[in-house]
Chain A
Amino acid sequence: MKRIEALNDFVIKFANVNGSGSASANELFAKAILRMGVPVSPRNIFPSNIQGLPTWYEVRVSEAGYLGRRGGIDMMVAMNPQTWDADVAELEPGGYLFYDSTRPLPPSKFRPDITVIGMPLTEICNAVYTDPRQRQLFKNIVYVGALSVLLEIEPEVIEKLFGEQYKGKEKLLASNVQALHLGRDFAKEHLDAPLGIRVKRADKVGDQIFVDGNAAAALGCVYGGATVAAWYPITPSSSVAEAFQKYCGKFRVDPATGQHHYAIVQAEDEIASIGMVVGAGWNGARAFTATSGPGVSLMTEFIGLAYFAEIPVTIINVQRGGPSTGMPTRTQQADIIACAYASHGDTKHVLLFPEDPHECFEHAACALDLADRLQTPVFVMTDLDIGMNQRMCRPFAWDDSRSYDRGKVMTAAELEAGKDFGRYKDVDGDGIPWRTLPGTHPTKGSYFTRGTTRDPYARYSERGPDYIYNVERLLKKFATAATLVPQPVLRPASRKTPLGVIYFGSTSPAMQEALDVLPESGIHLDALRLRAFPFPESVKQFIASHERVFIVEQNRDAQMHNLIVNELDIDPGKLTRVLHYDGTPITARFITAAITKHVTLSMMPRGKTAQAQEVQP
């Protein structure tokens, strides 16, 4: 039998039971490899349940630095009898199966084309530990120890990680190190090590950091100057607010007085959380909420108010599988249309699409600036894949000369100097009016904010021309927004090509890998990564300058494709959709296969096959 042989390039998956304490052991495993200078990208695959159901942790090890999900598993650490059959089936031929052999299994439970490594984990732990919880918890550390021998992960690196984790808790540190060596000793004595897949120290991580997108977005809100956060718990966004709380506790407490330079409210629901953000934004504080699809649904009435009354609002939408409760713990990019046009009537909202935690940080800070500048809701569209998984990325950066763009806020002095204040007047020709904050001046600049239409001086009006003036100005403002949002990133092919591809957000790592792989089969693509809606002019030009453009996204209905067609008036016949929406993160294999299939089909003689516009291998 041929075994998979690979150095620093494999996928290992841990199949566990929710609540068994495996999460920190698995993370430790991934982090140890990272510390050896080898890029990893782990993904939590978990059910919408607290305890007892299956959960997986998939780690891709890739010296080449590919961080997207690859697809296929080279080694399975099968700790969950419930999912045994499916887990074993997922292994690539020549792969490795590691399991707890305390209770022997019949040969029918295995596959002939894989290498099976049994280790009596339960037996070992039962012999050493008496406390049932310890028996369970240390089982995870014992298998990490065994894997470190099988895969040649340096034990000193793991011990150092323990040292950091249990700083000041010497007893815990000692017992973890002991469990690690329990696993190592057994593996050295009884198992055939190393395997064909192995880790070798490299220098491919550099100064990159390892962090999840939600923590990064929260930090972006701290750096971006958000002072009011209102939220309601929902997976996968809750950890944004929780991380914001943590970072504020660290960075935003006045050392002299102990007073907080922030306010965080866990609201009674999403309607109240966005309402608080609207109130705070109206009153001149930078405010945000973090939510996911169902929360956005509830917020839409307020989003419409904020759009029409022109109030800065930042919403971090960590997307998950919909519609309805859909797949609450799986990833999708399926709220694009719902957010772009959230609320009733004619609305359009600014959306930002970060590709990784680094950009989650940047876009969150940028969203707060844009919301103030444009006086409108701004969405940061992340998803579960970036939000809840730790990802290797460029370190966060901040320019200390950067100040906050508070937008057009007229001061008491300006009002005093006699500046004409008309709340909804387009003074500067960019569609963005000036505002005043409550309490500014005893006699000048006050106005009444409302969701009903009004004249340029904010006076209630149902006159058609006043309405038209307003909504047309909002369109002009949206055009201004296109020049202010993060611009698309172009990655040209190495040679001239009629083919282009458009992608965005968490699809990025899989796409980058696909772009490296596709030229091997003679397919060259110019690639454009969108970073925001409204789409800048360059998006239209990119499509115009190619014969065929693929649009890769993670939803069923080609939402980004539709937004592009709708907003840029593009002939849909030029576009090909590449859609992935089973809730798992898209893979390079999927993208490569879809595009290859399309190119091959379209090269066949006409009539033999219909032009495939939608490719779903």
Chain B
Amino acid sequence: MTYIAKPRLHHPTLETNKVGYTRRDYEGKISTLCAGCGHDSISAAIIQACWELDIEPHRVAKLSGIGCSSKTPDYFLGASHGFNTVHGRMPSVLTGANLANRDLLYLGVSGDGDSASIGLGQFAHAMRRGVRMAYIVENNGVYGLTKGQFSATADSGSKSKKGVINSDSPVDLVAMALQLGATYVGRSFSGNKAQLVPLIKGAITHGGAAFIDVISPCVAFNNHPGSTKSYDYVREHNEAVSRIDFITEREEITAVAQPGEVVDVRQHDGSLLRLRSLHADYDATNRYTAMAYMQEHQARGEIVTGLLYVDPLATDLHTALNTSAKPLNELDVPQLCPGAPALDKLNASLR
């Protein structure tokens, strides 16, 4: 088997969004992942989010590393360019792509092996550079594609399918992203679409480095008793800090909010993120309380999900570098080449 293309027959009654696309237009090839793999649910959430955001599919560039998770960009947004790079190095390629053309939306998809093991360095530096992108880690605590070895996010004490106990401490990418300066940080669960879709929408429209860690059980190698990344385990230990509604400028805000429970955050593109805190005292715009909150709950064995931190006015690497508004890949000789007279002057200064 090489690949499976989806038939492109559309039912005439399918609902279209503002840019005239149906949800089917955001799909890709048929997934070759295991039935029930959490990654497929995340692909579905990405499709839903992009459709709801009225994004033209071809204005998205989707980049990934290597792994089951990194294969998924082939299974959504078939009309956009995708790039399966090398293991753990998606962030640098995405950074370069973003520098070349700031007008596209960048979606980085990675696995926990890809981002927390081999690619930990690139993950960290993309966060601290503020590359504008939605960076999604499909975190299953194992290496899926190479068949079940522990990844660096596996909790210490958790058991592999083969019965091996992991003795290393886990890398917590959310904690790292917060510490490294990411300006939008969330965690979710592949099985919680109601939470995941708005979280992805917020990340896509965010003006800086947005990171979402999505716990995504691997049904083949990490969905057994003893795993802390299984469906059952996550359901039992989930502690949601917030449910977020994503509201674009154009729409009337219809959500009914209880006073004191709602935080509206306006992103740089004008869209609003409405956080419905389950805890009245949770402030998603404070990086330091977010860090403390997350770690407190982690110590109690809880997995905090939701939008943990956002800087709604975040800027990105282009702002820092003061690059031209026109994408660099569209500049040509007049903007780029100083020309022969300048060279003659330069020659004269070198004599």
Contacts and interface: CB of A to CB of B under 8 A. Distances in A.
Contacts of A282: 83, 93, 96-97, 100
Contact of A398 (B61, B318, B340, B351): B340
B336 A449 contact: no
A305 B74 contact: no
A601 B305 CA distance: 81
A258 B84 contact: no
A305 B81 CA distance: 17
A258 B93 contact: no
A381 B85 CA distance: 26
A280 B122 contact: no
Interface in B19-77: 56-59, 61, 63, 73-74
Contacts of B243: none
Contacts of B9: none
A447 B103 CA distance: 19
A455 B338 CA distance: 42
A251 B342 contact: yes
Interface in A418-458: 436-443, 446-452, 455
Interface stretch (A13-21, A268-276, A472-480, A516-524): A268-276
B200 interface: no
B350 A449 contact: no
Interface stretch (B246-254, B255-263, B319-327): B319-327
Nearest to B61: A438
How many interface residues does chain A have, given as a range?
35 or more
A439 B325 contact: no
B14 interface: no
B125 A272 contact: yes
B126 to A, nearest CB: 9
A228 B84 contact: no
B100 to A, nearest CB: 3
Contacts of A283: 61, 96-97, 100-101, 104, 329
Contacts of B122: 268, 271-272, 275
B332 to A, nearest CB: 7
B2 A461 contact: yes
Interface string A394-437: 01111110011000000000000000000000000000000011
A250 to B, nearest CB: 8
A459 B73 CA distance: 13
Given A271-B89, A447-B81, A261 B331 contact: yes
A206 to B, nearest CB: 10
Contacts of A274: 92
A450 B84 contact: yes
A439 B61 contact: yes
A228 B328 contact: yes
A461 B74 CA distance: 13
Nearest to B102: A263
Interface string A490-502: 0000000000000
Interface stretch (A40-48, A66-74, A186-194, A219-227): A219-227
A53 B92 CA distance: 37
A449 B84 contact: yes
A505 interface: no
A446 B333 contact: no
Contact of A278 (B93, B98, B104): B93
Interface stretch (A116-124, A207-215, A562-570, A580-588): A207-215
Interface string A369-413: 000000000000000000000000001111110011000000000
A284 interface: yes
A451 B101 contact: no
Given A396-B343, A442-B58, A463-B2, A276 B93 contact: yes
B109 interface: no
B95 interface: yes
B2 A259 contact: no
A108 interface: no
Task: Report whether over half of chain A's contact residues are helix, strand or loop; otherwise say mixed.
Answer: loop
Contacts of B332: 225, 403-404
B100 A452 contact: no
Nearest to A209: B350
A396 B80 CA distance: 42
Interface string B1-29: 01100000000000000000000000000
Nearest to B103: A439
Contacts of A440: 58
B121 interface: yes
A273 to B, nearest CB: 8
A7 interface: no
A285 B329 contact: yes
Given A265-B99, A439-B61, A227 B84 contact: no
Nearest to A215: B350
B322 A260 contact: yes
A400 to B, nearest CB: 5
A302 B125 CA distance: 18
Contacts of A278: 85, 92-93, 96
B335 interface: yes
Max chain B CB contacts within 10 Å: which of A222, A275, A400? A275
Contacts of B81: 436-439, 446-449
B96 A280 contact: yes
A442 B56 contact: yes
Contacts of A208: 351
Nearest to A313: B96
Interface string A246-264: 0000011010011111111
A163 interface: no
Given A305-B86, A397-B343, A439-B81, A275 B58 contact: no
B177 to A, nearest CB: 16
Nearest to B328: A227
A257 B326 CA distance: 12
Contacts of B89: 271-272, 275, 301-302
Interface string B335-350: 1111110111011001
A263 B129 CA distance: 13
B214 interface: no
B333 A279 contact: no
B307 interface: no
Nearest to B318: A263
A462 interface: yes
Interface string A210-248: 110000000100110101101000000000000000000
A303 to B, nearest CB: 11
Given A285-B328, A398-B343, A459 B2 contact: yes
A277 interface: yes
A293 interface: no
A460 interface: yes
A281 interface: yes
A305 B85 CA distance: 8
A228 B323 CA distance: 11
B80 A460 contact: no
A280 B106 CA distance: 13
Contacts of A205: 351
A258 to B, nearest CB: 7
A289 to B, nearest CB: 10
Given A257-B324, A439-B59, A459-B2, A279 B93 contact: yes
Interface of A: 205, 207-211, 219, 222-223, 225, 227-228, 230, 251-252, 254, 257-265, 267-269, 271-285, 287, 301-302, 305, 395-400, 403-404, 436-443, 446-452, 455, 459-463
Given A261-B335, A275-B95, 19 more contacts: A223-B343, A225-B332, A251-B342, A252-B335, A260-B323, A267-B125, A271-B89, A280-B99, A281-B96, A281-B100, A282-B93, A283-B104, A305-B86, A395-B344, A398-B339, A437-B101, A439-B61, A439-B81, A461-B3
24 contacts: A205-B351, A223-B338, A225-B331, A225-B337, A228-B328, A251-B338, A272-B95, A274-B92, A275-B93, A275-B122, A278-B85, A279-B94, A280-B328, A282-B100, A283-B329, A403-B333, A438-B81, A439-B61, A439-B103, A442-B58, A448-B81, A451-B85, A461-B3, A462-B2
In the A-B complex, the 4 residue pairs with the closest CB atoms: A279-B96, A275-B92, A285-B100, A276-B96
